[in-house]
Amino acid sequence: MDRRHNDRRKCCPGDSGKRRGDTMKVGLISDTHNLLRADVLEALSGVEAILHAGDISSQPILDQLQKTAPVYAVRGNADKEWAEHLPAYLDFELNGLHIYMTHKKKDLPTDLSSYDLVLVGHSHAYSVTQLGSTTVVNPGSCGPRRFHQPITMATAEISPGSIIITRIDIAHPAPSPKVDQNNIAAQVY
């Protein structure tokens, strides 16, 4: 299986209309925390499905994403009562690939060998790991910047036997100096 990683800095909404075997472009996001940036929506334009690995924080975020493409989403630890209808995990097929999604990596099944693609979130840290024939992706966080980590997401070009992951870095405002009582500037992010 071709598994290239291009590292350039509700369940199952229905069939995308693609014939099995055609390449399908999918948006991979997590940890929006009630912030859907214009740059994220622009990066998602043209995708045929969006996979959201949780910590969405409100239904309007899902509604806005749904205007772009069908959304597969799981509930994250910050998704409270409003998200009780969202599953804790999804196990599904999309364009010929077996996919598993959950918010926290610690909640993954022990054996991932039957999955082609696994999507997790929670840590806000972008990563792509190959475990045998399984590609495990954490797209990072494309919501509010936390922990001085970059704001990231990814896209995947998927077809039976192939997954190509592309990292997308989202620009954030430059830090502004904050001056304390001693007139010493500190960087605020």
State the pTM of this model: 0.83
Q: Which of 1-5, 80-84, 148-152, 179-183 has the lowest mean pLDDT?
A: 1-5
Output phi, psi for 65, to 5 deg: -60, -40
Pairing mode of beta strands 151-159, 24-29: antiparallel
Which residues are CB-neighbours of 89 under 8 A, at least 6 positions away?
74, 100, 101, 102, 107
- Which pLDDT tens digit goes with each residue over 88-143? 999 999 999 999 999 999 999 999 999 999 999 999 999 999 999 999 999 999 99
Angstrom distance (rounded) from CA 169 to CA 113: 29
- Which pLDDT tens digit goes with each residue over 132-158? 999 999 999 999 888 788 999 999 999
Is residue 62 within a helix (H) or strand (E), and if so which, with residue range?
Answer: helix 59-66
Q: Kindly list the structural domains of the chain, giving each domain's residue range(s) and its CATH number in brackets, ordered by start.
A: 2-188 (3.60.21.10)
> Is the torsion defined by CA of 162, 167, 168, 170 positive or negative?
positive
Continuous H helices in the chain = 38-44, 59-66
